């Protein structure tokens, strides 16, 4: 597996593994022992970068990774997140964000225990807290880094000005936000800013929450607990309209002897050498398929064709529900 560098020296596999869907968001939690096997198999296949958060569950996702990665902890990079208003005992969710310095410290200690480790390699602020100056957040992380509990600082779904202010206090190693052929918003301002600052980028939902695999159409039925039921872009009408996007990807995949998912991930990898997507899955054959994207080379002609055709398609529907959109800086 190719190794890429995020920000100020964090070396990770060119593709990570997003673990959220193993315990929440896309329906009922998957079998725990099967997910432990899947995570360890990903490591055996060259993936060393694993993404979780206290909010996934809450807590159950971190606990899963803690158990799965404990035997190989010294060989992997663990990323988790703080920043939501979650009771650290009960897991009850509050209405919004909480990045008060004392809460960040408490979350860090709780995450360390669940992850069965003595340090967190990459600690993201999950969402910006409008009630706490980002300088105070960055300063708290700077102190935790000095104490050896955190190795690198990250931000998720943050706006450019927030990133700049945080970076001035404590260098930001990586920013995580949605980016794919299904949502190209970061290209406008975020990617140029990250390049200028020397910050890595970790796209989540690189497969457009599954849409770019070509396995979803307007007739697809999601589990009642699947978050896509509440996303405007995944309404039946939007899915039907947005299939034009998938047809572009399918055509390239057929020509390259690859799958649509592999083309979508390979396209991301081709954008910048400091981009590391984190597709998630609960199935080993999908994991193998995704990993295969790292070896898929898209030519300049392939990339130009994709850009020209995708640019003519207007994607229908917002990428998140209205309330969730308000919590992003993008």
Q: Report the alpha-carbon distance of residue 199 to residue 257 in Å, rounded.
A: 34
Spatial neighbors of 98 by CB under 8 A, at least 6 apart, are: 83, 84, 85, 86, 129
CA dihedral angle for residue 84, residue 88, residue 91, residue 93, rounded to 10 degrees: -30
**Side-chain half-sphere of 282: how many Cα atoms within 13 Å?**
17
The candidate with the shortest Cα–Cα distance to 212, out of 189, 185, 242, is 242
Q: Report the alpha-carbon distance of residue 286 to residue 18 in Å, rounded.
A: 13
Check if the beta carbon of residue 260 is closer than 8 Å to that of residue 251. no
**Does the annotation count 56 as an active-site position?**
yes
The candidate with the shortest Cα–Cα distance to 201, out of 271, 131, 108, 283, is 271
Spatial neighbors of 46 by CB under 8 A, at least 6 apart, are: 1, 13, 291
Q: Report the alpha-carbon distance of residue 289 to residue 140 in Å, rounded.
A: 40
Instruction: Phi first, then psi: give them for residue 9, nearest 5 degrees.
Output: 105, 15
State which H helix or E strand residue 32 sits in: helix 32-44
Examine residue 58 and say whether the peptide bond preceding it is cis (omega within 30 degrees of 0).
yes
The per-residue DSSP string of 174-190 comes to: EEEEE-BTTB-GGGTTH
Kindly name the residue from 26, 56, 124, 179 that is annotated as catalytic. 56
Would you name the residues annotated as active-site residues? Answer: 56
């Amino acid at each position: 597996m190719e190794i890429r560098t995020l920000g100020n020296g964090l070396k990770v596999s060119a593709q990570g593994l997003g673990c959220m869907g193993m315990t929440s968001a896309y329906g009922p939690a998957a079998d725990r022992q099967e997910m432990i096997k899947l995570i360890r198999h990903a490591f055996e296949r060259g993936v060393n970068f694993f993404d979780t958060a206290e909010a996934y569950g809450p807590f159950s996702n971190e606990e899963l990774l803690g158990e799965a990665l404990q035997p190989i902890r010294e060989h992997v990079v663990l990323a988790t997140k703080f920043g939501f208003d979650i009771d650290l005992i009960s897991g009850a969710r509050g209405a919004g964000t909480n990045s008060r310095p004392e809460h960040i410290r408490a979350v860090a200690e709780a995450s360390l225990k669940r992850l069965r480790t003595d340090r967190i390699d990459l600690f993201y602020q999950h969402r910006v807290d409008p009630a706490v100056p980002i300088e105070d957040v960055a300063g708290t992380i700077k102190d935790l880094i000095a104490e050896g509990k955190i190795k690198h600082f990250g931000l998720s779904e943050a706006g450019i000005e927030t990133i700049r202010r945080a970076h001035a206090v404590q260098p930001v190693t990586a920013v995580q936000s949605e980016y794919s052929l299904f949502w190209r918003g970061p290209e406008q301002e975020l990617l140029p800013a990250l390049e200028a600052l020397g910050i890595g980028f970790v796209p989540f939902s690189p497969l457009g929450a599954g849409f770019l695999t070509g396995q979803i159409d307007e007739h697809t039925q999601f589990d009642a607990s699947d978050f896509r039921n509440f996303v405007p872009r995944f309404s039946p009408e939007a899915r039907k309209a947005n299939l034009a996007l998938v047809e572009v990807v399918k055509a390239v995949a057929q020509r390259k002897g690859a799958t649509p998912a592999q083309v979508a991930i390979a396209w991301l990898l081709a954008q910048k050498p400091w981009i590391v997507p984190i597709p998630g899955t609960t199935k080993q054959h999908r994991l193998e398929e995704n990993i295969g994207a790292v070896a898929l080379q898209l030519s300049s002609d392939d990339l130009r064709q994709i850009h020209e055709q995708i640019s003519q398609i207007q994607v229908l529907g917002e990428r998140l529900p209205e309330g969730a959109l308000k919590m992003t800086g993008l």
